[in-house]
């Protein structure tokens, strides 16, 4: 038992050190910036499939952007609810909004990439902003992101949007899941370092890209079969080497309510967790082992030690657990989550492991995953 306790304390220490390193080297944020006439023409592309509960909030916030020259293109990806009717009504109110009827999904394409490719094809701007239908934007958001790109001489700016967590499941599980993803990818300093092409990720909720760079890497057609298209786009930009990318916190300028129930959280992350680790299976396996030690093995062992009154071992595990929770709380506060989110880390990590295992099993078995009413098998849409 002493050896087991020592191993778990070591695992917790490694997790804490990794967390602290990523937190301290992930300080990049954009600053609010007033618009001016020098900003390039912008096309904002929104893919929408069955988004009736949130599409109006998103589109109205985009039309309220304080930006000198922009258009909004909503691509209705063959929605089966009132998404198209809502969008058409908004388009009649504001001519800057164009609503496109999505074409049938071709073989070999994932739905979101196909919708974004159609929007990009219709766009007239020198820059394009790809943003999700569940986002809400402050009036200075687009101008601030564009100014950041220009001042930093970047070709792509992707923002880590603030996450709205209202329901219990959102508050308990979502912070840990997103924190774990950040730990798996690495610090923002590494993502933004062109000398580290192996460390790359975008947040698909907000990607601002120059048309020149977008077309040079092949646009969304280059990642048409990828469920996690944002991750693969980032990898392609970093490997290409010609273009600079910048991933940063949105600092309150853009927010998202991703999911509203445990079922939505589960389905949303099952679709791409295993794919994100595909590039480095050995590293993914080591990460899974580390997470397993932190939770559930550490809490279970701690309860066993307390039950058998082995106080010294229990004290060591309790201290290591408290240290991990405190550092996670620091990181989650930096990510602008609610105070106390770090306390849910143990149960959140167990859910992360369950999601990862389910995602991997679905892909390896050939069963595939369901998303937005479509089934994807290893990244490809199954023939209908």
Closest CA to 137 of 17, 247, 30: 30
- Record the pTM: 0.92
Q: Tell me, what's the pLDDT at 379?
A: 44
Determine how many CB atoms are found less than 10 A away from the CB of residue 171: 15
Q: What is the pLDDT of residues 285-330, one digit of tens each?
A: 888 999 999 999 999 999 999 999 999 999 999 999 999 999 999 9
Whole-number percent of the chain with pLDDT over 70: 93
Strand order in the sheet with 162-163: 135-137, 254-256, 162-163
CA dihedral 282, 355, 348, 157 (to 10 degrees): 70
Query: Mean pLDDT throughout 244-271?
Result: 94
C-alpha distances (whole Å) from 333 to each of 150, 294, 313, 369 are: 29, 20, 30, 32
State how far the Cα of 262 lies from the Cα of 258, in Å rounded to an integer: 11
Of 364 and 161, the structure prediction assigns the larger pLDDT to 161
**357 vs 268, 331, 354, CA distance in Å?**
14, 25, 5
Per-residue pLDDT tens digits for 44-86:
999 999 999 999 999 999 999 999 999 999 999 999 999 999 9
At 179-236, the pLDDT tens digits run: 999 999 999 999 999 999 999 999 999 999 999 999 999 999 999 998 889 999 999 9
> Is residue 372 scored above 80 in pLDDT?
no
The helix/strand/coil state of 376 is strand
- Domains of the chain, with CATH numbers? 2-24+276-381 (no CATH), 42-260 (3.90.550.10)
Query: For 277-329, what is the HEC assignment?
Result: CCCCHHHHHHHHHHHHHHHHHHHHHHHHHHHCCCHHHHHHHHHHHHHHHHHHH
> What pLDDT score does 360 carry?
80
Q: Which two tokens stand for residue 306?
A: 């307390």
Q: Rounded to whole angstroms, how far apart are CA atoms 297 and 8?
A: 8
The owner of tokens 């079969």 is 225
What pLDDT shows up at residue 94? 97
> Cα(228)–Cα(233) distance, rounded to whole angstroms?
9
Torsion of CA 34, 35, 38, 39, to 10 degrees: 120
* Long-range pairs for 94-97: beta carbons < 8 A, 24 or more residues apart: 94/63, 96/63, 96/70, 96/71, 96/72, 97/59, 97/63, 97/71, 97/72, 97/73
Residue 90 binned pLDDT confidence (cut-offs 50, 70, 90): very high
Q: How far apart are CA 104 and CA 338, in angstroms?
A: 41
Give SS3 for 43.
strand
């Amino acid at each position: 038992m002493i050896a087991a306790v020592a191993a778990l304390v070591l695992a917790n220490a490694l997790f804490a050190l990794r967390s602290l390193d990523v937190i301290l080297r992930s300080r990049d944020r954009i600053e609010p910036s007033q618009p001016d006439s020098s900003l390039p023409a912008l096309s904002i592309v929104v893919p929408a499939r069955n988004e009736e509960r949130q599409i109006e909030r998103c589109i109205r916030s985009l039309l309220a952007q304080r930006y000198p020259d922009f258009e909004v293109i909503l691509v209705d990806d063959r929605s089966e609810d009132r998404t198209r009717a809502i969008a058409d009504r908004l388009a009649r109110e504001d001519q800057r909004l164009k609503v496109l009827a999505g074409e049938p999904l071709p073989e070999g394409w994932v739905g979101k990439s196909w919708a974004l490719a159609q929007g990009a094809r219709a766009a007239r701007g020198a820059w394009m902003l790809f943003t999700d239908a569940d986002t809400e934007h402050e009036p200075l958001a687009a101008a601030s992101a564009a100014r950041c790109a220009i001042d930093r001489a970047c070709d792509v700016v992707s923002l880590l949007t603030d996450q709205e967590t209202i329901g219990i499941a959102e508050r308990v599980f979502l912070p840990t899941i997103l924190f774990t993803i950040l730990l798996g990818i690495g610090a923002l300093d590494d993502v933004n370092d062109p000398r580290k092409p192996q460390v790359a990720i975008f947040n698909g909720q907000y990607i601002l890209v120059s048309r020149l760079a977008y077309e040079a890497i092949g646009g969304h057609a280059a990642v048409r079969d990828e469920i996690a298209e944002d991750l693969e786009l980032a990898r392609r930009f970093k490997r290409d080497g010609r273009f600079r990318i910048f991933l940063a916190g949105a600092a309150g300028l853009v927010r998202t309510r991703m999911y509203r129930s445990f079922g939505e959280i589960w389905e949303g992350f099952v679709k791409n967790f295993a794919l994100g680790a595909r590039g480095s299976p050995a590293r993914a396996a080591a990460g899974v082992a580390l997470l397993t030690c932190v939770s559930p093995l550490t809490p279970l062992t701690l309860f066993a030690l307390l039950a058998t009154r082995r106080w010294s071992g229990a004290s060591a595990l309790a201290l290591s657990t408290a240290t991990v929770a405190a550092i996670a709380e620091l990181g989650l506060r930096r990510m602008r989550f609610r105070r106390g989110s770090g306390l849910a880390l143990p149960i959140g990590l167990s859910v992360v492991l369950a999601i990862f295992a389910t995602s991997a099993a679905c892909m390896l078995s050939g069963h595939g995953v369901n998303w937005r009413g479509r089934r994807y098998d290893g990244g490809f849409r199954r023939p209908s």
